[in-house]
Amino acid sequence: MNNDTMTWILLIVMGVVLLTPSVLLTVYYFARIRKKKPAYYGKKVSSILRKYGGIRRFKVIDYLQMDDGREVVIIPHLLIGYFGILLVSTLDRRGSYFGDAKSARWVYDDSKFKTDIPNPFQENQRAILQIRNLLSKNKIYNVPIQQLIVYDSYAKKCSCFVGSDVPLLRINKLNGYLQKAMFDKDNGLDVEKISALLMENGALVDNPSRSLK
């Protein structure tokens, strides 16, 4: 084996050694960003809603899949009370989000990874439409239904630059939001009936990540 061949072999070996940490870090980063966070935010929101609703005899449904024959929607969290229905979804990653109510896609960027995501506001609106249609078919009318999108409390690492027409809130503000007077209003809803109807016409699914698709 001549000197030139040995030199090339050494260079290749050195290149592999130098690249291996970078490859491992990249794999770790994508595994972390795609798998770690979604479960945390879903559990946190569910816990807050259940704690609030439990003492008021409200109902909470997590990850309900509905299919009206035209479209399948997954509803992350529903709080059903005498006031009406609150649909809560989450932005499941730390980073910056850019979008508005009308855009089909939003942009997610954490300075290391950037992608576009489905507009969560529009996803929630489609879910609300299915709920309203189901209620109407069962002669249940005039049910107030609102949506809310929550995201990370860590202000230095998570920001949302979206239009003011998008109902958006940091997750650490959710408890305070639920203290609003509108949630104390009794609009005469049959909480048990509506909850049972939704469960009968939907199916519970595992926590899906909606932020990176």
Alpha helices in the chain (DSSP H): 3-35, 37-54, 120-137, 174-177, 191-200
Residue with tokens 């439990």: 54
Statement to judge: residues 89 and 170 lie in one domain: yes
- The verdict on residue 175 lying in a domain is yes
- The verdict on residue 83 lying in a domain is yes
Statement to judge: residues 136 and 67 lie in one domain: yes
Statement to judge: residues 21 and 78 lie in one domain: no
Statement to judge: residues 105 and 190 lie in one domain: yes
Statement to judge: residues 52 and 1 lie in one domain: no
CA distance 195 to 62: 12
Statement to judge: residues 43 and 88 lie in one domain: yes
**How many domains is the chain built from?**
2
Statement to judge: residues 81 and 160 lie in one domain: yes
Statement to judge: residues 101 and 171 lie in one domain: yes
Given this model, what pLDDT does residue 39 score? 81
Contacts (Cβ under 8 Å, ≥6 apart) of 160? 91, 96, 97, 151, 168
Q: pTM for the whole thing?
A: 0.81
Residue 187: give the domain boundaries: 39-204
Interval 91-106: pLDDT, tens: 999 999 999 999 999 9
Q: Partners of 150 in the beta sheet?
A: 90, 169
Q: What is the mean pLDDT of residues 67-91?
A: 97
Given this model, what pLDDT does residue 13 score? 64
- The verdict on residue 213 lying in a domain is no
CA distance 79 to 210: 19
**Residue 11 clears pLDDT 50, i.e. is over it:** yes
CATH number at residue 136: 3.40.1350
- The verdict on residue 71 lying in a domain is yes
Residue with tokens 């009318």: 141
Among the ranges given (58-72, 148-162, 198-212), the one the predictor scored with the smallest mean pLDDT: 198-212
Given this model, what pLDDT does residue 208 score? 77
Statement to judge: residues 115 and 200 lie in one domain: yes
Statement to judge: residues 127 and 26 lie in one domain: no
Given this model, what pLDDT does residue 210 score? 54
Statement to judge: residues 161 and 176 lie in one domain: yes
- The verdict on residue 210 lying in a domain is no
Interval 187-206: pLDDT, tens: 999 999 999 999 999 999 99
CA distance 195 to 131: 11
- The verdict on residue 174 lying in a domain is yes
